[in-house]
């Protein structure tokens, strides 16, 4: 990457804030002259901290031209009480209607997810939105199919004899698999809860912190969805099916390239919760 960084000496006020926030330590404040010097700029991870913190716009960074830098109006920030209310009111609202989530709301949810931090600012995280009804049905069918195959394997007399003494917790789920299969056959959609969109968060398989990065992004998206009045439900069943699927069929269905780390079902709710309870 042909990245360039420089400090405009004429406008720099030598406050040293850029040196304090740089995670790579490439900006160093000289003790005598107070000037900011660059050391090993090739180690820059492109996080933008130095640009954002500079009060005099003296950090010139090729990754962040002026049109990509925006002032923050802190008077527009929500109060701590408002943020806490948003957090406390967030629910996995499964009362989803057939009304599709407007595209502009989906875009805002993805944008919020994109702004989540990632380890070493790698930004090795991607988002795939699925809104086609036939593909959503495929994902439900896929999940039920994986669970059905798993239940058959676990109930095989020989397998059951060998495994059940050591996998008591796993065998507790077998009746649930049968219940899900029955509900699915009745058209109740116990997997996606009739969601009209799925947000799939995925990373390269080589990303050591893919799971952590993805779930930070998920939290951003979840809170944005809550603020927009959009139902969001964590797709634990689908993720469980993916982990049991050695043939990687989910990626074939969705076109996802990489490792699926988190999935959020989205839809417009039939109603909102008027209260929240204390979490003990």
pLDDT tens-digit profile of 62-116? 999 999 999 999 999 999 999 999 999 999 999 999 999 999 999 999 999 999 9
Q: Are 200 and 160 found together in one domain? A: yes
214 lies in some domain: yes
Q: Are 38 and 119 found together in one domain? A: no
Instruction: Identify which of 242, 2, 8 has the alpha carbon closest to the alpha carbon of residue 139.
Output: 242
pLDDT of 154 reads 83
Compute the distance between CA of residue 2 and CA of residue 155 in angstroms, rounded to an integer: 58
Domain hosting 205: range is: 78-275
Q: Are 181 and 113 found together in one domain? A: yes
Q: First and final CA of the chain: distance in angstroms?
A: 50
Hey, how many other C-beta atoms are within 10 angstroms of the C-beta on 89?
A: 14
Q: Are 90 and 10 found together in one domain? A: no
Q: Are 51 and 82 found together in one domain? A: no
CATH number (domain holding residue 47): 3.30.70.20
85 lies in some domain: yes
Compute the distance between CA of residue 48 and CA of residue 5 in angstroms, rounded to an integer: 11
245 lies in some domain: yes
Q: Which of 33, 68, 103 is the endpoint of a domain?
A: 68
Instruction: Identify which of 259, 196, 205 has the alpha carbon closest to the alpha carbon of residue 233.
Output: 196
Q: Are 96 and 27 found together in one domain? A: no
Q: Which of 68, 94, 116 is the endpoint of a domain?
A: 68
pLDDT of 140 reads 97
pLDDT of 1 reads 62
Q: Are 124 and 63 found together in one domain? A: no
Q: Work out whether strand 36-38 and strand 126-130 pair parallel, antiparallel, or are unpaired.
A: unpaired
Compute the distance between CA of residue 113 and CA of residue 232 in angstroms, rounded to an integer: 13
280 lies in some domain: no
Show the low-confidence residues of the chain (pLDDT under 70).
1
Q: Are 46 and 123 found together in one domain? A: no
73 lies in some domain: no
Q: Are 56 and 111 found together in one domain? A: no
Whether this model's pTM surpasses 0.85: yes
CATH number (domain holding residue 171): 3.40.109.10
Q: Are 94 and 58 found together in one domain? A: no
Number of domains the chain contains: 2
Q: Are 64 and 85 found together in one domain? A: no
Q: Are 194 and 147 found together in one domain? A: yes
Q: Which of 68, 86, 115 is the endpoint of a domain?
A: 68
pLDDT of 269 reads 97
Q: Work out whether strand 27-29 and strand 126-130 pair parallel, antiparallel, or are unpaired.
A: unpaired
């Amino acid at each position: 990457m042909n990245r360039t960084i420089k400090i405009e000496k004429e406008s720099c006020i030598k406050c040293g804030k850029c040196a304090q926030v740089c995670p790579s330590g490439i900006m160093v404040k000289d003790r005598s002259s107070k000037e900011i010097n660059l050391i090993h700029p090739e180690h820059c991870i492109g996080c933008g901290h130095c640009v954002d913190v500079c009060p005099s716009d003296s950090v010139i960074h090729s990754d962040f031209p002026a049109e990509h830098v925006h002032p923050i109006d802190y008077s527009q920030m929500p109060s701590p009480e408002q943020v806490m209310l948003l957090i406390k009111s967030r629910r996995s609202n499964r009362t989803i209607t057939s009304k599709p989530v407007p595209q502009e709301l989906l875009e805002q949810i993805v944008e919020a997810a994109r702004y989540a931090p990632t380890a070493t600012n790698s930004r090795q995280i991607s988002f795939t939105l699925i809104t086609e009804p036939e593909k959503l049905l495929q994902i439900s069918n896929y999940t039920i199919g994986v669970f059905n195959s798993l239940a058959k394997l676990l109930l095989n007399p020989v397998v059951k004899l060998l495994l059940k003494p050591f996998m008591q917790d796993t065998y507790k789920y077998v009746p649930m698999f049968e219940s899900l299969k029955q509900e699915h056959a009745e058209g109740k959609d116990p997997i996606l809860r009739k969601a009209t969109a799925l947000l799939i968060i995925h990373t390269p398989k080589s990303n050591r912190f893919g799971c952590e990065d993805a779930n930070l992004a998920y939290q951003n998206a979840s809170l944005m969805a809550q603020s927009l009045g959009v139902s969001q439900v964590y797709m634990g069943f689908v993720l469980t099916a993916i982990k049991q699927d050695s043939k990687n069929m989910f990626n074939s269905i969705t076109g996802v390239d990489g490792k699926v780390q988190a999935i959020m079902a989205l839809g417009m709710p039939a109603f909102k919760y008027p209260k929240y309870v204390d979490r003990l």
